[in-house]
Each structure stands twice: as C-alpha cells, then as structure tokens.
Structure 1
Amino acid sequence: MTIDIDAVTKILREAAQESILPRFRSLGRDEVTEKAPGEIVTVADRESEVAITRRLRELLDVPVVGEEATSTDPKLLRALTDEPAAWLVDPLDGTRNFVRGSEDFAVMAVLVREGEAVASWILRPTQDRVYTAELGSGAWCDGRRLRREPAPAEPARMRGAVQSRFLSPSARERVEAAVDRFAEVGPGASCAGVDYPLLAEGELDFVLYHRTLPWDHTPGGLLITEAGGVALRPEGDPYRPGDDRLGLLNAADEATWRTVRSLLLS
C-alpha cells in the first residue's frame, strides 16, 4: 500500500495547531510534569499524541508506537519488530525547549514496515516547515528535493554537534579532547527534529548521539539517508528502529563518518 504523504503531513499540522501552538509560551505550571527522573512532559505532548494516534489509525489501521504511550506501556515497542507495519510517533520532540519558550521543537512520525522505516515526517510548527522522506524516493523540504553534498575532507573545516548529556565520563573526555580538530562542534539543539534537518540541509556535517530512542532518531535517520548521508552505529551497522543499542553517528557521507568516528570514538 502506498501511503499518502500529504495526508500524514496534514495530520501533524492539525495536531500542532490544535494542541501545541496554542500553548507555546503560555503553559501553566500544572501543565508540565515529570514522567521520569529528569524527563518532563506537558499536556501538549499528551494531547498531540492522542490526536495523531487516532488520525493515523484512520489512515492506516496498524499499531501506533507513541513516545508518551510507551512511557506507560513499554511493551508497545515490540510492534516495531513484531508487526508487519506500525506507526512511530514523537508528538513533541524537544519538550524541554518548548517549555523554555524556544522554537527548537518538532512533531515527527514514521511508517515502519517489516522493521524498516519506509516514510517519515518532521514538522517544525512555528515555521510551518515540513521535511519528508520515503524509502527509495528521496528526501524533501516543502516540496524541494534535498541532496546532501559531501562535507569538506579536512576535519578543520567540518561542523558538527555532539549530544553529550548521556555520554559516559570517559566518552565525554575523548570528545572534549578532539573537538579542537574541527571547525566547530556544538551541543546541538537538544531536539533531533532540528538537528537532522540541519545535517540534511548542509548546516552541519555530522551529529553524534549516545541514547537513540526510536521516535527521536528514526524520522531523521531516514531523512538523512534519503538525502545522501549516512546514519550508522559506531560499529558501522545501519540504524533500525527496533535496535536498542547505544550510539549513533550521522554524517554527510561515508568518508566524513569514518573521519569523525576515528577522531571521536576511537
């Protein structure tokens, strides 16, 4: 079955307009809670996921693996590997940014078939900008084809981001010792739905993550690979949504991936 890319885009836009944007920079104290130590959630996250889940199942009636539902019932993750098809939803990526009033947040969805991402969507609500990717058909931003050019060969000209929040002390020490080899290495936007488009558009040349929850990285992983880049585990294996290993290095091209891995992970 061919999925209607525009129909899913409409679902995400409507959820953002109804549940997220009206609360942007106007959240009440009782609308932000902690779902786990250090992990916050808002009423916008939960309402957005409920709306997206219902509408996606109307479009294609398969299991929906939503971030918030999975925090309550982790067994939902099994659908990504055990079911012929499943939806994967991050109703508000970058919740902490959203709470702070930063525009660095996104709404994301993926269609997974036989354990592989086949279509993905990343919506930046405040910009009304949408990134889409379809397996074998390319990556797009608002109808414009994305083709990622190779990064500069020299590390001193490469720009990247490292999400160091979950790195071990030894891994953080290795990264800190190597960052001066690059033109620029920042912490990223604390939102995968921002970082992956920056990589696909050429604003970044690599992004390194340690924790790789499927709703955070499956949408962008398909976007960057369909744009011509790579999304690989440190061992060199392709990222898959049902894979619970740690570590993910995304890069503009394979040569950049090898260079960055040798400097940051070896």
Structure 2
Amino acid sequence: MWIDTVTGILHEAAAAAILPRYRALTAGDVTEKTPGEVVTVADREAEELITRGLRTVFDIPVVGEEATAASPGLVTALRDAPAAWLVDPLDGTANFVAGRPEYAVLAALVRHGRTVASWIVQPAEGRTYVAETGSGAWRDGVRMHRAPAPTDPAALRGAAPTKFLDPPGQARVAAAASRFAALDQGAMCAGFDYPRLVAGEQDFVLYQRTLPWDHAPGALLLTEAGGLARRPDGTPYRPTDTKRGLLIAADARCWRTVRAILAPGPISAPPA
C-alpha cells in the first residue's frame, strides 16, 4: 500500500541522513539559514532522499522546506497543482542541534489545497504517526482518539510559543498563564506538539507562524483523532492559507475557551 511505502521512505531517510548525526554534529554541519534559524546537513540530505522517494510514489511537485528556502515560488504548487507533496525533513532542527530528542520528519499529501494524508516520524523516540482523511489517526498501527478536554480552564494544559509574537502578544500570554493548569512554550517542534495533544498530554497550542510543512501533517492527525485546528478567526486550517495564527485544541469547547483568553476578538466562523 502506498501509505506504507511513504512511511518506509521517511524511515529510510532518517536512518541514512539524520540518526547518524544525532548528537554527533560537527561545527561545519550547522549553518544559519536566516537570523535565529539554523539548518544542518541532515536537513538537506534527508530532504533530497525523501524527495526522490516520494516522486516514485506519485510524480507530483514536492514542496520541501529547504527547497522552498532556495526557491520560494515552489510553495505555489500547493495552490496551483492538483496534488503536491509537503516535506519538512527535520522539524525541530534547533532541538536536534542541541541534542534533544524532540525532532521529527514530517510529510503530507495535498490534493486541491487540502491535506489528505500525513506522516510524522519521531526518529529518536521510535514512533510513527499516520493519518488519512476519513480513515483516522494512527500511532504505530494503533488508532488514536482524542478524549474531551476538561471544562474548567484552570484544568487545561497547553502551550503558546512566543518566539514569533510581538511584545503585546507576549504580554497577553504571560498575563493569561495563571488561568491555566499549565502554559509553556511547547516542544518547539510541531512534530511533537500535535501528537502530544492527540495523546492527551496537553489540551491546546496557540501558534503564530504557520508554515505549511510544519502544520499540515499534524493538523490532519489531530482532526482525524477528533480534535480541532482553526485559525483565530474560526476558519478551518488549510495548508494554502497565508494567514498568521493557529489554535489547535482537543475539542470545540476547549478551542472557544482558550481562544477567548489568549486571542480575544470577533470570530467570523465559530466552531460548533
């Protein structure tokens, strides 16, 4: 089955290009891609391997994070092509460089602007998450269902990374922290934040920057497990969106509660 073929491609790329360099990077293996954003030789080599492999499954455009950094126009394939692959070869690169295990290999298949299949591989943890529209969310072959979150905001656990927030936004998050059971920066890796939410380890995450290769895989995993991924204005997440901001939550009630506290304002399309 092609779903399993893609899973194998991601694992093979991780085994060849990523795991051998985990906690074994040299100074020349790491460079600064943009101010504050690092990239490693593992990112680039893994993306090359994954791109070649995916084209043997479906010969369609591959929108990879590193290829798009070099050629920004590649991202238009998500909107213009009938189908395209999305690839983040090493999500959580800063964690990887620091020797922390919270990094992942992400991929998704987008058809007519909507994510229809996705993969999250956590090489250091040995876990694999797969989702397909209408077929559910799976961890290592076991189907996942997200249970409802607590109704009391004081019992909710979540994250709101502030790296890309302006000072007023950072102040709003800091002021709201005491209203929740826990509010931190998250894993600094979408490939860990989404699975943790599905597994019930946290109840929500509020993001500001929403690059498609970071969020398309996890958003499908979450929604197929029964959770919610919506923009702060209430509209559903789509990988073709260029909007900022994304609130992911265990369920619609949790989404409304957290949104009122962390991102107050009018909602054009409130979730049911």
Q: For 1:232 and 1:122, locate their aligned partners in 2 and report how far apart those are by CA, in whole Å.
A: 20
Please list every run of 5 or more consecutive structure 2 residues that lacks an aligned counterpart in the other structure: 265-272
Q: For 2:162 and 2:196, locate their aligned partners in 1 and report how far apart those are by CA, in whole Å.
A: 18
Any residues of structure 2 matched to 1:1-266 within 5 Å, and which? 4-266=2-264
Q: For 1:27 and 1:175, locate their aligned partners in 2 and report how far apart those are by CA, in whole Å.
A: 35
- CA shift, 1:127, in A, is 1.8
TM-score, normalised with respect to structure 2: 0.96
Q: For 2:162 and 2:33, locate their aligned partners in 1 and report how far apart those are by CA, in whole Å.
A: 22
Q: CA RMSD in A?
A: 0.7
Q: Deviations over 1:169-189 (max 9, x none)?
A: 111111111110100111101
TM-score, normalised with respect to structure 1: 0.98
Q: For 2:99 and 2:171, locate their aligned partners in 1 and report how far apart those are by CA, in whole Å.
A: 31
Secondary structure of residue in 2 paired with 1:92: strand
Q: Deviations over 1:12-69 (max 9, x none)?
A: 0000000000000010100100111111100000000000000000111000000000
What is the total number of aligned residue pairs between the two structures? 264
Secondary structure of residue in 2 paired with 1:173: helix
Q: Deviations over 1:207-230 (max 9, x none)?
A: 010000001011100010000000
**Percentage of pairs with the same residue:** 61
Q: For 2:31 and 2:176, locate their aligned partners in 1 and report how far apart those are by CA, in whole Å.
A: 37
Q: For 1:148 and 1:252, locate their aligned partners in 2 and report how far apart those are by CA, in whole Å.
A: 6
Q: Which runs of 4+ in 1 moved over 2 A?
A: none
Q: For 1:264 and 1:94, locate their aligned partners in 2 and report how far apart those are by CA, in whole Å.
A: 24
Q: For 1:157 and 1:36, locate their aligned partners in 2 and report how far apart those are by CA, in whole Å.
A: 38
- CA shift, 1:90, in A, is 0.2
Q: For 1:23 and 1:174, locate their aligned partners in 2 and report how far apart those are by CA, in whole Å.
A: 39
Q: Deviations over 1:65-84 (max 9, x none)?
A: 00000000000000001000
Secondary structure of residue in 1 paired with 2:192: helix
One-letter code aligned to 1:233 = R
Q: For 2:36 and 2:224, locate their aligned partners in 1 and report how far apart those are by CA, in whole Å.
A: 33
- CA shift, 1:168, in A, is 1.1
- CA shift, 1:150, in A, is 0.6
Please list every run of 5 or more consecutive structure 1 residues that lacks an aligned counterpart in the other structure: none
